Chains A and B, each alone.
Chain A
Amino acid sequence: QSALTQPASVSGSPGQSITISCTGTSGDVGGYDYVSWFQQHPGKVPKLLIYAVSNRPSGVSHRFSGSKAGNTASLTISGLQAEDEADYYCISYTDTSARVFGTGTKLSVL
C-alpha cells in the first residue's frame, strides 16, 4: 500500500485560505468516505481536525473544512493564522481494512 500523495509544502499569508490535497486510488480515498486529517506541531502528538471526509470533532475551529472528489480529498483552512503553521496529514481506510497515511504537508504562514 503506497502512501497517499500530498504536496510537500504550502504557504499562505494571514487571513488567506489554503487547500491541501490528498490523492489516493479507488482502493482507498476514492472508495470510502473514511478520510481524516490531522495537524501536528513540532514535538507534539497529532490532533484530529476532520473525520469522515468533512466532519469536524467538537472543539475544532470552523476554519478547517474537508471535502472529496474522486480519488482526491482536500483540507481547506480559511482565515489563516500564525498558529496554523504545522504539518498536516491525511489518512484513509483501504479495501483491505488497513489504513494509509498521506506523505504529509508542511504549512508555512508567511
Chain B
Amino acid sequence: QVQLVQSGAEVKKPGASVKVSCKASGYTFTDNTLHWVRQAPGQGLEWMGWLNTYNGNTKYSQSFQGRVTITTDPSAGAAYMELSMLVSEDTAVYFCARERAGSGLKNYFDPWGQGTLVTVS
C-alpha cells in the first residue's frame, strides 16, 4: 500500500538544526509532489513547503524562508526537511504528505506520514 514513513522524534537545542526524513513506498516516488506541514502543540496546521520529487524544484512558505530546506534522494525514495536556527516556537509535529498527481488534484494530500515530534529545548 502507499505509505510514507518518517524518522523518529528529535530533541534539539535552540540555534541548532534538525533534519526529518520521509520515506515513500508503494508507488513511483517521482510521480508526486511532497508537502511538509507542521503542527505546534495545541495549534493548527501550518504549511511549510513543497518538493517536486521529479526535478527537485521547491517552494517554501515565506514564514520559513531562509530557514527551511527540502531535498530529495530519488534513488532512496526519500525526501528530507531541514529546519535551521531552531527556536522554542519550532517545537511541533512535522508531517510529510503526498499530493496526488493529475488535473484538479492540487491539495489532494494522501497519505500523510505518521508525524515526527521535534522538541526544541
Chain A residues at the B interface, C-beta cutoff of 8 Å = 1, 3, 32-36, 38, 40, 45-46, 48, 51-52, 55, 57, 87, 89, 91-93, 96-104
Smallest CB gap from A1: residue in B: B62
Contact of B109 among A35, A36, A55, A87 (CB under 8 A): A36
Q: In the complex, what residues of A have CB within 8 A of residue B110's CB? A: 48, 57
Chain B residues at the A interface, C-beta cutoff of 8 Å = 35, 37, 44-47, 50, 59-63, 95, 104-115
B108 near A99 with CB under 8 A, answer: no
CB distance from A20 to the nearest CB of B (A): 13
B44 near A103 with CB under 8 A, answer: yes
CB distance from B94 to the nearest CB of A (A): 12
Smallest CB gap from B107: residue in A: A36
A38 near B109 with CB under 8 A, answer: yes
B61 near A52 with CB under 8 A, answer: no
Contact of B47 among A51, A57, A98 (CB under 8 A): A98
Once the chains are docked, how many angstroms separate the CA of A102 from the CA of B107? 13
Known contacts A36-B107, A100-B47; 16 additional CB pairs below 8 A are A1-B63, A32-B106, A40-B45, A45-B95, A46-B112, A51-B108, A52-B107, A55-B104, A57-B108, A57-B110, A89-B45, A91-B45, A93-B106, A96-B59, A98-B60, A99-B50
Q: In the complex, what residues of B have CB within 8 A of residue A87's CB? A: 44
B107 near A93 with CB under 8 A, answer: yes
A46 near B45 with CB under 8 A, answer: yes
Once the chains are docked, how many angstroms separate the CA of A72 from the CA of B111? 26
CB distance from A105 to the nearest CB of B (A): 9
Once the chains are docked, how many angstroms separate the CA of A98 from the CA of B105? 14
Smallest CB gap from A103: residue in B: B44
Once the chains are docked, how many angstroms separate the CA of A93 from the CA of B35? 12
Q: In the complex, what residues of A have CB within 8 A of residue B59's CB? A: 96-98
A34 near B106 with CB under 8 A, answer: yes
Closest 7 CB pairs of A and B: A104-B44, A36-B107, A34-B106, A99-B47, A45-B112, A51-B108, A101-B45
Q: In the complex, what residues of B have CB within 8 A of residue A93's CB? A: 106-107
Smallest CB gap from B60: residue in A: A98
